Structure 1
């Protein structure tokens, strides 16, 4: 259980994040995470510029789709664009 990020109760919760190895290499790892969750109407261009310099955008995008992330910028794409991608993949 040492791979869990601990909560204030120091016990895993359904929302506990298990970091993946690629996350340490992400360009966003040392930036303000709020930038990747822009306010409604904000296209998140600052976050997208950071993603454009990142070596792990494919892994990040796959992570967001696999975990059904419905908010934020992952792999350089906002949630609405990711949803369109997953709809295209379904028969």
Structure 2
């Protein structure tokens, strides 16, 4: 797992960080200022990391309304993010999207 993409509790569980929001310590210097506008930063992070076989519907509904959805998706694809819902897509959907993007 890539700890730089999420805040962990030390046991590998995803959690929120009250000081920095759901996305941990990313800031504008990291080129990720889009995260401050992300609707998911105001939502329980567990929604975006469902258990295997769990529903992704709630997370995708949040993403659908988010103004930085494209930046989020591009970041997840570019950084090979393998867990969770990013930009409204699951890992499987992002892999498919990445293949299609390479063909274009």
Paired residue secondary structure (2:84): coil
Deviation at 1:17, TM superposition (A): 6.0
Matched, 1:50 2:62: yes
Normalised by the size of structure 2, how large is the TM-score? Answer: 0.66
Structural mapping, 1:1-91, within 5 Å? 18-19=26-27, 20-90=32-102
Give 5+ residue unaligned stretches, structure 2: 1-7, 9-23
Q: Aligned equivalents of 1:68 and 1:53: distance in 2? A: 23
Unaligned runs of 5+ in 1: 1-6, 8-15
Give TM-score, length-normalised by structure 1: 0.75
Q: SS of 1:23's equivalent?
A: helix
Q: CA RMSD for the aligned pairs?
A: 2.2
